Amino acid sequence: MVRDRKYPQRRGLIVGNYCHDVLLRDDVVVAETLGGAVSFISAVFDGVLVRHNSISKVGRDFAYSTHHEPIVVPGSKTTLFHAHFGSEIDGDGHQDRVLKRVRACDPIWPTDLPESRFDFGMAVGVGGEILPETLEKMLELCETVSVDIQALIRDFDAIDGTVKLVDLKESGFYHLLPRIGFLKASGEETSSLDVEEVRKLCCVVVTNGKHGCTVYWQDEEAQIGPFPTNQVDPTGAGDSFLAGFVAGLVQGLPVPDAALLGNFFGSLAVGQIGVPKFDLRLLQRVKDEVQRRKVHCNSCWERKAEDLKLMKLAGFEQFHASLSAAKMMPSCPVQECQWDLSISPPAADQPKLLNTPVFEETIQTIDGGKP
């Protein structure tokens, strides 16, 4: 897609409601936190200074202070989820989770979106707030749109709000897939789509927890390794993955390397309860490693861009090892860390990549109190 030259370069657009999340173990409340995919994505983007606007709706009862102000809906309450965990842990280190939507704020309508052009968009609803017509409007406004499939296929029990998944073909969004750049799904969510069919329409990224992720695009696929971590709270892991993935694309990394960065941020998210916070030395180290990797990949693109697709370029394993080493660093106070602002050339024959890096001025990470 060619950018309309009459519009200046803008930032990204994230669409999805903030939530109140309550975590329960054996029916006992263990934490109350800020929730919603947009909160986890903004935390990553604010940390690495990716420029973005967010469109979210909340009620007057919204209990948190965020840098990106939501739309307050009079007469409505903030979307509330209860995540019920059991005490038992399976062989993969997972705990059974039953997610229930206790109440829902208003949906996000096409008219709620700004009449501006954006370099990229992210449709990341969690409570059914994104409508087909809203996603279609995003596709008109944004050069490339990444979608979390949970925004498309979640349904909710009429009695207790238990989250259920519907088939993607029955969701009302299927006809829009050829216009989507990237569709992210968890391994569990793949039961609602035919990956072999959908990969012909858009790039599909499937996350598999401690096993990493797999990227599918037409007749190509790439398995991307994980980062070991001690899971404390799985909430937001997929959202943080998607944020890291898109941040990598914005920075000019090829798809496999961007997916590796997604795995990295996803692994950081599960090690904390609620929205994660990142420290100075970690972000600085990641910045340095991404910059080195970008320079190396750029030279590869110049030599053999036509053959890249989802190929892991030379040095991929070293990039993985370097990020692993960064993850092991001791923490220090949270501060801002500027990424390199130079423009990176896009790789040829990749699925709807971002053409230009976009960044923002210094932003503080989200920090809210309990509801």
Residues forming the active site: 239
d(CA 167, CA 173): 10
> Within 13 Å and on the Cβ side, how many CA atoms surround 143?
25
Q: Is 173 helix (H, G, I), strand (E, B) or coil?
A: coil
Q: Is 52 helix (H, G, I), strand (E, B) or coil?
A: strand
Name the strands in the sheet holding 19-25, side by side, starting at the edge strand that comes first in the sequence: 28-35, 19-25, 79-89, 95-103
d(CA 348, CA 297): 12
DSSP 153-170: HEEE-TTT-BEEE--GGG
Q: Which residue type, as a one-letter code, is found at position 135?
A: L
Q: What angle, rounded to 10 degrees, do the helices at 316-327 and 255-269 form?
A: 20
The size of the chain, in residues, is 371
Question: What CA dihedral angle connects 62, 63, 65 and 66, to 10 degrees?
Answer: -50
Q: Are 70 and 58 in contact (CB under 8 A)?
A: yes
Q: Which two tokens stand for residue 194?
A: 């035919």
d(CA 357, CA 252): 7
DSSP 73-133: -TT---EEEEEEEEEEE-TTS-EEEEEEEEE--PPBPGGGS-SS-EEEEEE--SSS-B-HH
DSSP 239-275: HHHHHHHHHHHHHT--HHHHHHHHHHHHHHHTTSSSS
Q: Which two tokens stand for residue 270?
A: 């599960």
> Within 13 Å and on the Cβ side, how many CA atoms surround 329?
18
